[in-house]
Structures are given as C-alpha cells and as structure tokens.
C-alpha cells in the first residue's frame, strides 16, 4: 500500500492529466461541437508527448564513469563521465544521476538514493560528450557506486525515463585521513641491538647478555669477548636478548557501546585516524607494528614493517566498524597474554564509565607483562549529541581512569571533539 502511495505521489501530474483527458472525451461524446474534440485531442497529444518523449531522449544513450578506486578522507577526486549517443538524432536536456553513498556520509546521513550530478543540455547525433565531476570523499569506508544512469522528464515532467549502466569503476575505498607525527614519546633512550640490527623504540633499555657465539662479518667489534677469544684462539662475540620488542601493538576498541558521536565526529572515527597516523610513523621509522580488535569482523594484522604493512593496515582501517559487543577490557586481557616484554601497546579509551574498573585491571595486566602503555583518552561528553550530554568537565570515572593510567606509567593523550590532532600529537 505504501509503495502504491509513493507511486501515485510521484505521478500526480500524470494522473491529473489522464483524468482531464478522460473527462474531456466524455464531454465531447455528449456534444456535437468541435471544440471539446479539439481540446480532447490537444490533451491526448500532450499526454503522449509527456510519456513518449522522455523515453526517446534516453534511448540509444550510454554512459560510462571512470576514475580512482582509492582515495583519502577529505580528498577531492575527479570522475570522468562519458555519454555516447548511438542514435542519429541529437538528444538534449538529459539528467545525469548516480548512486554515491559517500556523499553526505560525513554527518552520518548515507543514502542509497540517486543524486543529480548535472544536466546535459545537448548530445549530438552519433556523438559523445565528456566532462569531469569533482567530488569530496567525506568519510572513510568501502563504498559500492552506481549504477550510473541517465534520466529525463523533459518537456512536461509527467514521467521520468531512466537508463542505468554499471560500466566503469564500481567501488571506492576511502582511507582515514592520517596526519604526520614527528615523534612518539616512547620511554627511555634508543639503542642499536647487536643481534637484531634494528633501532628499538624509546623505553627498550639496552639489552640482556644471553651467550657467546662465533664472530660473523659485520658484528660490532665492541661485542668481542676477549677472554674467550684468547682461550679458544678464535673470535667470539657476546650475543644479547633485547629487553624490549621493537614493535607497536595498536588495539582498537570495536565495541559499539564505546563509540560516541555521529559521522566523522565520532570517537571511533577519531581513533581510526590516530591509529593510521601512528602506523604511518612506525613504518616510516623502521618499527614493526601490528593491529588487532574484536568486533563482528575481527581485526588481526600480524607484526610487520614497511610500506606494504602500512597499506595492509590502511585497508583494514577503511572498512573497520564499531559493530562489536566484546568489552574492551576483555580484549586487552587477551592481548596481555600475547604481549612481548617491552612492547608498546596503543590503547583507545572511550568506553562507558561503568567499565573503568575492569579496564584498569586489564591495563595492569599489560604492565605486569612489562608492556609500555600509550593511551588515547576520549572525552565522551564532547562527542555526544547536545541532548545526550550529562556533564561538563571531568567525571569521577574519567578522573579515576586518568589517575590509574598515570599510576601505571602510561603516556596519556586526551582528545576532545574538534581538537587539532596534528598539534595535539606534535606538541
């Protein structure tokens, strides 16, 4: 019934004209004057023109959309659109429509409705028209585009005729808007580990002696153990076990209850942008980085480094969603069981205040495993809708969480809605 009402509302003008035409013909039959018949004929011609002409305008037209299939949040991309007229007669006043769900997504108002991209005033017979269509990638995600189509209701607007095609690019992956981080304040001082040959993050300390082995080309001469070398008459070097793992572990909170806000101005979206930026810093500085999270689609990227690792992380961040139901404290407890001593764990804290005690216990487990904590704390009140805000300033739970993190030796960064993240993470 609702579908019938929607159809009647969309074709109201057509129904009115059909009714008038019918009434005019009834009146003409009952009279011998020529005028009613002329009016009925005129209305019939108008009706036929309004229904047939739009279908003729889009007939023999085809459209192809081409452009990038990957972009970054906030970036302006350009789609190239080509309309071809395969008929001999020209076409005019044809609308270009497309389904672009990323348009309007910044405010959380995604829609599958067609969007009018413009009107093509003239396409010559057996000719083509090409033009560019700039669009802003408002929010990260994986989007299915189209089908792109042509529509016309010219000249009377009684009915709209459409033709749809799925040619050209059909998907678009929008990555989070990452920002540059100059330095992460990880603890301690950098040191070059003899055996691993990589630069450990701050907080790694030096290394712990684990044994001796034969000298190999490229070994640091300062690590030669001279007493053993003299006794065996063969160069022997000391081997070390690092006290810290040169790895960052980014743990995302995919629990839906932890996400506050809408569109780009949600805690989860901020967390993804920060996570991508930290991953970029790590891969640019030769640090190994991994990422995990538990949601409807679990997130588990093993440790790695380099550009390929960064791209793998971005691919996951583009499609990640806060659709889980597993409390973050439980996730961190599982992470603690797998954490290597000295590993830096990046945590994002935006959960409900009632879970603060459980969260602090899981963070204490991480510290017991000799992990370093880098905590990003979100001010839930600043992200909530005005009607949902319950306080202004720190709540007792937020104060307890911040104090507990300081007691655990964590480095804390407090984030509010609207903060300049570049300045916040590069003080």
Q: What is the pLDDT of residue 335?
A: 95
pLDDT of residue 386: 65
Q: What pLDDT score was predicted for residue 29?
A: 81
How high is the pLDDT of residue 100? 87
Residue 415 has a pLDDT of 95
Q: Give the C-alpha separation, 262 to 175, whole Å.
A: 18
Ranges of the chain whose pLDDT falls below 50: 188-206, 242-245, 387-393
pLDDT at 27: 81
């Amino acid at each position: 019934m609702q579908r019938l009402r929607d159809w009647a509302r969309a074709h109201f003008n057509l129904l009115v004209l059909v009714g008038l035409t019918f009434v005019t013909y009834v009146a003409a039959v009952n009279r011998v004057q020529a005028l009613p018949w002329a009016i009925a004929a005129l209305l019939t011609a108008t009706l036929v023109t309004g229904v047939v002409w739009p279908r003729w305008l889009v007939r023999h037209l085809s459209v192809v959309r081409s452009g990038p299939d990957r972009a970054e949040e906030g970036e302006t991309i350009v789609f190239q659109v080509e309309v071809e007229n395969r008929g001999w007669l020209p076409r005019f006043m044809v609308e270009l429509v497309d389904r672009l769900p990323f348009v309007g997504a910044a405010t959380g108002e995604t829609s599958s409705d067609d969007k009018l991209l413009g009107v093509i005033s003239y396409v010559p017979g057996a000719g083509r028209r090409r033009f560019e269509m700039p669009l802003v990638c408002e929010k990260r995600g994986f989007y299915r585009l189209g089908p792109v189509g042509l529509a016309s209701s010219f000249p009377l607007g009684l009915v709209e005729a459409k033709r749809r095609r799925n040619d050209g690019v059909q998907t678009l992956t929008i990555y989070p808007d990452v920002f540059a981080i100059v330095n992460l304040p990880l603890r301690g001082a950098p040191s070059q580990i003899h055996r691993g040959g990589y630069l450990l993050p701050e907080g790694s300390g030096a290394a712990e002696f684990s044994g001796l082995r034969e000298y190999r080309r490229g070994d640091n001469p300062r690590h030669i153990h001279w007493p053993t070398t003299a006794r065996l008459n063969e160069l022997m070097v000391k081997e070390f076990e690092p006290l810290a793992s040169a790895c960052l572990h980014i743990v995302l909170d995919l629990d839906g209850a932890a996400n506050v806000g809408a569109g780009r101005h949600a805690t989860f979206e901020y967390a993804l942008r920060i996570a991508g930026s930290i991953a970029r810093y790590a891969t640019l500085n030769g640090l190994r980085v991994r990422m995990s999270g538990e949601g409807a689609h679990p997130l588990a990227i093993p440790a790695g480094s380099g550009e390929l690792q960064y791209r793998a992380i971005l691919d996951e961040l583009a499609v990640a969603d806060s659709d889980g139901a597993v409390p973050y404290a439980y996730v961190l407890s599982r992470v603690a069981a797998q954490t290597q001593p000295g590993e830096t764990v990046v945590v994002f804290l935006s959960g409900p205040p009632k879970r603060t005690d459980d969260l602090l216990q899981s963070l204490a487990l991480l510290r017991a495993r000799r992990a370093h904590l880098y905590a990003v704390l979100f001010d839930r009140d600043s992200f909530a809708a005005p009607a949902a805000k319950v306080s202004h300033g720190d709540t007792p739970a937020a104060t307890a969480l911040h104090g507990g993190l300081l007691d655990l030796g964590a480095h804390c960064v407090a984030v509010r809605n609207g903060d300049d993240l570049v300045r916040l993470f590069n003080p």
